[in-house]
């Protein structure tokens, strides 16, 4: 059993808003070992991005309260000062952001943006940093790196920009890579390329990856474990296979059914989940999904279910009226 790289226990993130406290992430716990890939899946508003940022410690500094524990290679992130967090950012953990147009500094050449990490964090001098940056650009599959080195982000295509973001994230060889919707907003053809690139790199550089997405297709073949989130809480978690084939929570089924499948006949109606995502400021008591759930019972509307283990090891779900076991 490999030493766990990432241990998250009871992580809760609350924003102080003008309309009251908003719990974006509620009591999330999981572990991640070395060389493992975890998928965090959910709709918009499920809290998955807030979760990924909080794990890294990148949440905003004001009006946010975090409780619980996040142990990254022995380093406790929750409650750590900004200064001490800086010691792990880049070298132990790094993030690939969703929109490369906004996550790259638009008025700085991309080469410089990569150099910066190398020179400041690894202490490389100018020439060494440039060499390494060019290596990184090649590593992420950018052709003619010398030319691109001097380019501004605006001159590059979306896919190339995302590769640059990945290069920056990998610059100091972190052990954990948080990929927050890395392909949303890119062309479908590019999406596959970027995901394959990430796969390759994670093996090459022996990293663990947390892949955050709303797209189940993305996690199906690239993750070993999955967490399904709804309204800021984990509603189901287990190995990828178990979640896909032996899921128990109706929301998971609804998610799976709502993505169009190649095997469907043409003109098959797209399944949608009725209703709207919940207002996190005004959560009703009971299970957050109950208002939209086809299997909701009286108890579901009154009492919030906790995660209970299912028949398969490592697989748990939170539901009072789960789907029958081994249904697929």
Partner 1 sequence: MSELLDEFTLIDRPEKNEPLGPLFWICLGWLALNIFGAIFANLLPLPDPNFGNYSAINAAPGFHHLLGTDDLGRDIFSRIVFGSRVSLAVGAGAMVIGFGIGAPLGMLAAYRRGRFDAVLTTFMYVLLAFPAIIATIAVLSFWTPRALLKIIIVIGFASVPVVYRVIRTATMNIATKDYVVAARIQGATDRRILFKELLPNVAPIGVSFLLIGIATVVILEGALAFLGLSVNPPTPSWGNMINESRTVMAQNPWLVIFPSLAMCLLLLCLNFIGDRLRSHFDVTEVKL
Partner 2 sequence: MVMLLGIVFVISVGAFYLIHLLPGDPAVVILGTGDNPHNRAILYKELGLNKPIWDQYFIWIKNVLHGNFGTSFISQTSVASTIRAALPIDVELIVLSQILAFAAAIPAAMRSARHPDGPLDRLLGATSFTLLSIPPFIVIVLLVLLIAIKLQIPHTGPSSYVSLASDWVGNLESLALPAFTLAIASFVVYYRVLRSDLIATLQEEFITLARSKGLSSRRIMWRHAFRPSSVALLGTAAVNIGGLLAGGFVVQYLLAIPGLGYTLIAAIAQSDYLLVQGIVLVVSVGVIVINFLFDFFINLIDPRISRE
- Binding residues for partner 1, per CB under 8 A? 15, 17-19, 22, 24, 44-50, 53, 280-281
Q: Which does 19 bind (CB under 5 to 8 A by kind): partner 2, partner 1, none?
A: partner 1
Between CA 193 and CA 19 the distance in angstroms is 42
Smallest gap from Cβ 178 to partner 2, in A, equals 9
Token reading at 255 = 């998610």
Contacting residues toward partner 2, per CB under 8 A: 53, 56, 58, 62, 82, 86-91, 94-95, 97, 99, 102-108, 116-117, 120-121, 152, 154, 165, 168
Helix axes 110-122, 126-139, angle to 10 degrees: 120
Task: Tell me whether residue 102 or residue 259 sits nearer to partner 1 (CB atom).
Answer: 102
Smallest gap from Cβ 73 to partner 2, in A, equals 15
Between CA 135 and CA 80 the distance in angstroms is 33
Contact status, residue 218 vs residue 12, Cβ threshold 8 Å: no
Q: Which does 48 bind (CB under 5 to 8 A by kind): partner 2, partner 1, none?
A: partner 1
DSSP code at position 107: T
Strand runs labelled E in 176-268: 176-180, 208-213, 225-230, 233-239
Between CA 213 and CA 23 the distance in angstroms is 20
Task: Tell me whether residue 168 or residue 212 sits nearer to partner 1 (CB atom).
Answer: 212
Q: Tell me the CB-side half-sphere exposure of residue 323, using CA atoms within 13 A.
A: 20
Smallest gap from Cβ 262 to partner 1, in A, equals 28
Smallest gap from Cβ 17 to partner 2, in A, equals 16
Phi, psi of 203 (to 5 degrees): -70, -45
Token reading at 244 = 């896909």
Task: Tell me whether residue 24 or residue 194 sits nearer to partner 1 (CB atom).
Answer: 24
**Residue 165 vs residues 105, 112, 150, 263: alpha-carbon distances, Å:** 11, 12, 15, 35
Task: Tell me whether residue 60 or residue 324 sits nearer to partner 2 (CB atom).
Answer: 60
Task: Tell me whether residue 84 or residue 302 sits nearer to partner 2 (CB atom).
Answer: 84
Task: Tell me whether residue 165 or residue 228 sits nearer to partner 2 (CB atom).
Answer: 165
Smallest gap from Cβ 95 to partner 2, in A, equals 5
Smallest gap from Cβ 290 to partner 2, in A, equals 35
Q: Which does 90 bind (CB under 5 to 8 A by kind): partner 1, partner 2, none?
A: partner 2
Between CA 169 and CA 298 the distance in angstroms is 48
Between CA 119 and CA 268 the distance in angstroms is 54
Smallest gap from Cβ 121 to partner 2, in A, equals 6
Task: Tell me whether residue 128 or residue 192 sits nearer to partner 2 (CB atom).
Answer: 128
Q: Which does 8 bind (CB under 5 to 8 A by kind): partner 1, partner 2, none?
A: none
Q: Which does 87 bind (CB under 5 to 8 A by kind): partner 2, partner 1, none?
A: partner 2
Q: Which does 173 bind (CB under 5 to 8 A by kind): partner 1, partner 2, none?
A: none
Between CA 238 and CA 219 the distance in angstroms is 13
Integer-rounded Cα radius of gyration of the chain: 21
């Amino acid at each position: 059993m490999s030493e766990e790289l990432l241990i998250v226990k009871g992580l809760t993130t609350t924003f102080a808003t003008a309309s009251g406290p908003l719990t974006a992430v509620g009591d999330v716990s999981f572990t991640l070992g070395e060389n493992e890939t975890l998928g965090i899946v959910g709709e918009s508003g499920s809290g998955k991005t807030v979760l990924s940022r909080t794990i890294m410690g990148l949440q905003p500094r004001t009006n946010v309260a975090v409780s619980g524990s996040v142990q990254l290679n022995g380093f406790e992130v929750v409650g750590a000062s900004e200064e001490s967090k800086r010691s792990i950012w880049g070298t132990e953990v790094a993030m690939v952001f969703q929109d490369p147009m906004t996550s790259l500094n638009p008025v700085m050449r991309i080469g410089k943006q990569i150099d910066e990490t190398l020179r400041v964090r690894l202490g490389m001098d100018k020439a060494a940093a440039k060499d390494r940056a060019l290596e990184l650009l090649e590593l992420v599959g950018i052709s003619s790196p010398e030319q691109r080195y001097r380019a501004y982000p605006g001159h590059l295509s979306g896919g190339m920009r995302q590769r640059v973001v990945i290069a920056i994230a990998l610059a100091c060889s972190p052990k954990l890579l948080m990929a927050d919707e890395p392909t949303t907003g890119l062309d479908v053809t590019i999406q596959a390329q970027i995901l394959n690139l990430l796969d390759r790199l994670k093996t090459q550089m022996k990293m663990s990856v947390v892949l955050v997405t709303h797209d189940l297709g993305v996690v199906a073949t690239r993750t070993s474990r999955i967490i399904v989130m709804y309204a800021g809480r984990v509603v189901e978690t287990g190995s990828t296979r178990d979640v896909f084939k032996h899921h128990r929570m109706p929301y998971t089924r609804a998610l799976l059914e709502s993505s169009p499948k190649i095997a469907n006949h043409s003109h098959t109606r797209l399944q949608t989940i009725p209703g709207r995502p919940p207002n996190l400021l005004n959560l009703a008591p009971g299970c957050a999904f109950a208002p939209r759930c086809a299997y909701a019972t009286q108890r579901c509307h009154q009492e919030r279910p906790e995660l209970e283990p299912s028949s398969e090891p490592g697989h748990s779900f939170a539901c009072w009226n789960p789907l029958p076991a081994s249904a697929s």
